[in-house]
């Protein structure tokens, strides 16, 4: 009998996308076969505590975590152990509670999708699903990502990054910079967040003022970007390590003025068109650009690449890359693979396989130099 893979599913997190992560995790947990996997659900509270216990996911959803067990991973290779930690007046007592082969981080946003968790997992030597430290951090910061795209002649809209401090102490100059960038509409976004949290579409200076303050609540770096009027909002899914595959493109028809948090998760009125309503040549160009981006930022496992296509002339612009995209069964990432012939349960299995393959490749790296042979 084949030995089960011991998998830890991490969800929640210290992020404005905490609730989205819980939704994604519930879907992933629902399709993991107990015949294949020994499953350990691990929640991270909004305060940053790692917790396990009976139905830990529901406990996080309800915000009732006091009775859960605090846990931790040690940043030591070959350990592969999840420890319960019991604080005393003078010390921390650690008790091993689970052995793990692979981690599936179902975390969106800061402290999960931005390279921080990936750095810890690299230190532990555990296999994990998704991009490494480099791909995660570059993909997470929208300003840096766009600079990398420009360096590789990949089309993006004009944008600048300002700091929270600039907004607080030099607001007038920030408003002037933004209005010199392009005419309205302008988009304001926290540089390091997803799910449209803190994003504003601005049609006037008063909108811009409100948008800057809103984005500054969620990040110290703020992206200001030229907007398009009602573009095609296109998404493609990429899957793989060194030889990635790309799905057919899908199109989002948002119920809001753009694909806002409300349009994504609350009102249930947005439509998803699969395949996208684009000329075949444009769709194929988008797929090729997505593959190129995936390799440029050194992604692994999975990513969803988002595009804007100008309705006037079908000009293609890269919006962003999501290295841990929304993963509910109605999210675009799995739906695009389903339309491309890969079911949701098979997709999750494949991601675990890719994580284990990636670890095997990492383990081939020589860590000790012994001089000329």
Return d(Cα 330, Cα 326) in angstroms, integer.
9
DSSP, residue by residue, 281-340: HHHHHHHHHHHHHHHHTT--EEEEEEEEE-TTT--EEEEEEESS---STTSHHHHHHHHT
The strand pairing partners of 233, in sequence order, are: 252, 308
Average pLDDT over every residue of 180-206: 89
DSSP, residue by residue, 165-217: HHHHH-HHHHHHHHHHH-SSPEEEEETT--TTTT-EEESSHHHHHHHHHHHHT
C-alpha 336 chain-centroid distance: 16
Average pLDDT over every residue of 156-176: 96
- DSSP-derived pairing of the beta strands 245-246 and 232-240: antiparallel
Q: Which of 294, 305, 161 is nearest to 225 (CA)?
A: 161
Q: In this predicted model, what pLDDT tens digit does every residue of 10-51 receive, in sequence order?
A: 999 998 889 989 999 999 999 999 999 999 999 999 999 999
Return d(Cα 310, Cα 119) in angstroms, integer.
38
- DSSP-derived pairing of the beta strands 5-12 and 37-44: parallel
Q: What is the pLDDT of residue 367?
A: 86
Average pLDDT over every residue of 326-339: 91
Output phi, psi for 327, to 5 deg: -130, 25
Do 66 and 36 meet the contact criterion of CB atoms below 8 Å apart? no
Higher pLDDT, 278 or 328: 278
Nearest 5°: the CA angle 186, 192, 198 is 50
Please enumerate in sequence order all residues whose Cβ is within 8 A of that of 257, keeping only pairs 6 or more positions apart, or say none. 201
Q: In this predicted model, what pLDDT tens digit does every residue of 79-136 receive, in sequence order?
A: 799 999 887 767 778 999 999 999 999 999 889 999 999 999 999 999 999 999 999 9
| pTM for this predicted structure | 0.91
pLDDT at 206 exceeding the cut of 90:
yes
Q: What is the pLDDT of residue 1?
A: 46
Could you tell me the domains of the chain?
5-128 (3.40.50.20), 158-226 (3.30.1490.20), 231-361 (3.30.470.20)
Q: In this predicted model, what pLDDT tens digit does every residue of 239-293 receive, in sequence order?
A: 999 999 999 999 998 766 665 556 555 566 778 899 999 999 999 999 999 999 9
Return d(Cα 78, Cα 126) in angstroms, integer.
8
Return d(Cα 130, Cα 115) in angstroms, integer.
10
Higher pLDDT, 367 or 154: 154
């Amino acid at each position: 009998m084949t030995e089960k893979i011991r998998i830890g599913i991490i969800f929640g997190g210290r992020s404005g996308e905490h609730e989205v992560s819980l939704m994604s995790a519930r879907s992933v947990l629902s399709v993991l076969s107990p015949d294949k996997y020994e499953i350990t659900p691990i929640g991270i509270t909004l305060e940053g505590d790692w917790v396990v216990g009976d139905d830990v996911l529901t406990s996080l959803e309800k915000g009732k975590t006091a009775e859960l067990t605090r846990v931790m991973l040690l940043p030591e290779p070959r350990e592969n152990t999840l420890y319960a930690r019991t604080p005393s007046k003078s010390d921390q007592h650690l008790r091993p509670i689970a052995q793990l082969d692979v981690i599936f981080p179902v975390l969106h946003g800061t402290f999960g999708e931005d390279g921080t968790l990936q750095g810890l997992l690299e230190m532990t030597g555990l296999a994990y699903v998704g991009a490494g430290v480099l791909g995660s951090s570059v993909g997470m910061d929208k300003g840096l990502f766009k600079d990398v795209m420009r360096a590789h002649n990949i089309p993006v809209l004009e944008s600048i990054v300002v700091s929270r401090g600039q907004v607080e102490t030099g607001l007038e100059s920030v408003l002037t910079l933004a209005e010199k960038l392009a005419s309205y509409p302008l988009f304001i976004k926290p540089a390091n967040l997803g799910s449209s949290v803190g994003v504003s579409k601005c049609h006037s200076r008063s909108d811009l003022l409100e948008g800057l303050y809103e984005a500054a609540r969620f990040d110290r770096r703020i992206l200001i970007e030229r907007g398009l009027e009602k573009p095609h909002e296109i998404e493609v899914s990429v899957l793989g390590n060194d030889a990635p595959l790309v799905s057919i493109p899908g199109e989002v028809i948002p119920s809001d003025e753009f694909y806002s948090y409300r349009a994504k998760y609350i009102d249930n009125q947005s439509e998803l068109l699969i395949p996208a309503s684009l000329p075949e040549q444009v769709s194929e160009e988008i797929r090729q650009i997505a593959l190129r981006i995936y390799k440029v930022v050194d992604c692994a496992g999975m990513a969803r690449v988002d595009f804007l296509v100008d309705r006037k002339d079908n000009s293609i612009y890269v919006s962003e890359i999501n290295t841990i995209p929304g993963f509910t069964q109605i999210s675009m990432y799995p739906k695009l693979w389903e339309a491309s012939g890969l079911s949701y349960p098979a997709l999750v299995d494949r991601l675990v396989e890719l994580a284990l393959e990636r670890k095997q490749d990492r383990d081939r790296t020589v860590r000790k130099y012994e001089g000329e042979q």
